[in-house]
Amino acid sequence: MRKTIVLSVLAAVVLGFAVSAAAQPRVRVAVLRFEDNTPHQWWDSRQLGDAAADVFVTELVNAGTFSVIERNRLNDVLAEHNLAASGAITPQSAVELGRLLGVQLMVLGSITEFGYERYGGRITSRFRGQMYRYTCAIDIRVVNVETTEILYANREGSSHIDVGVGIGGVAGGRESDYGRVAASTMRGAVEKLAEELATQAAGMSTYQGFGRVARVSGEQVYINRGIDDAVEVGEVFQVWRLGEPIIDPDTGQTLGQEEAMVGSIEVVSVQARLSICRLVSGEAQQGDMIRQ
């Protein structure tokens, strides 16, 4: 009997931890197209950068540690505001984009190396074989869109082997097929980067920002967080407003921003990605940050 009670208590404790962990809102992340910074762009660099970002998003979603913005939504915002859809966006410009998207972190990636080595020889008097070993390197940076601080940076490489057989002096025409092999080559590096970033999610979950005020109508305040972010009716948030950026006089880079708490709001209705709140004290305006 005592054994059964102990097991029941342990099960309840484990379940309690699981529910508590599930209730914690995940950090919201947007992934931009990876920039192609290789010296020889033998393929459609825009298409390859999109492919790298798509693989990265898929891996992060499967890891389940971040709330990842849909790529279509990201592209719509970029197009609407005439912003560059590539890793060329600086940490400073990521602040503006992050506010528009309502995200906390931005992933900027770049394909920094791509090359190959070719090996070949005659198989018979008529056929000649060649093997290509492709290698690449990809860098990522994770930017806090509130402060422009780079929270995480990493670099990974991967390789891919392609073999062809041809007649005479040409072995399968592999040199004309860089798009396919480039995508296969970079996939390994992107998957490793996403996996390693996912392990850092716990350390990034202490980020103080939670969401943004999307709209204000009288005493009603709409925020860009909802059921998907574990928001509950009755929950109270602080409303914070960012002021002028603080610039490093030596480097010209943004070190952070002035901020002040201007009000508080209480959740009265929750939808999937949106919550309606009432203004409890102070004020709120579109773009203000909310904190728990």
Handedness of CA 86, 89, 91, 97 (dihedral sign): negative
| 253 shares a domain with 279 | yes
CATH of residue 119? 3.40.50.10610
The boundaries of the domain holding residue 35 are 26-204
159 part of a folded domain: yes
| 198 shares a domain with 262 | no
- CB count within 10 Å of CB 151 equals 14
| 196 shares a domain with 96 | yes
Q: Say if residues 198 and 60 touch (Cβ distance below 8 Å).
A: yes
Q: Quick one: which H or E segment has residue 196?
A: helix 178-198
Distance, CA of 264 to CA of 276 (rounded, Å):
13
Give the pLDDT of residue 173.
Answer: 42
261 part of a folded domain: yes
What Cα–Cα distance (Å) separates residue 55 from each residue in 71, 107, 168?
Answer: 11, 13, 38
| 183 shares a domain with 49 | yes
Single residue among 204, 223, 243 that ends a domain in this structure: 204
DSSP 121-156: EESSSSEEEEEEEEEEEEEEEEEETTT--EEEEEEE
Q: Once rounded to an integer, what is the mean pLDDT over residues 125-141?
A: 79
- The beta strand positions in 227-272, using DSSP E, are 236-247, 254-270
Q: What is the pTM of this model?
A: 0.60
Give the pLDDT of residue 23.
Answer: 43
pLDDT band at 43 (very low <50, low <70, confident <90, very high): low
- For residue 252 the two structure tokens come to 């010209």
| 256 shares a domain with 231 | yes
Split into its structural domains, the chain has a count of 2
pLDDT band at 237 (very low <50, low <70, confident <90, very high): very high
* % of the chain residues with pLDDT over 70: 68
> Average per-residue pLDDT in the chain?
76
15 part of a folded domain: no
At 173-232, the pLDDT tens digits run 444 466 677 788 888 999 999 999 988 876 665 444 568 899 999 999 999 888 877 789
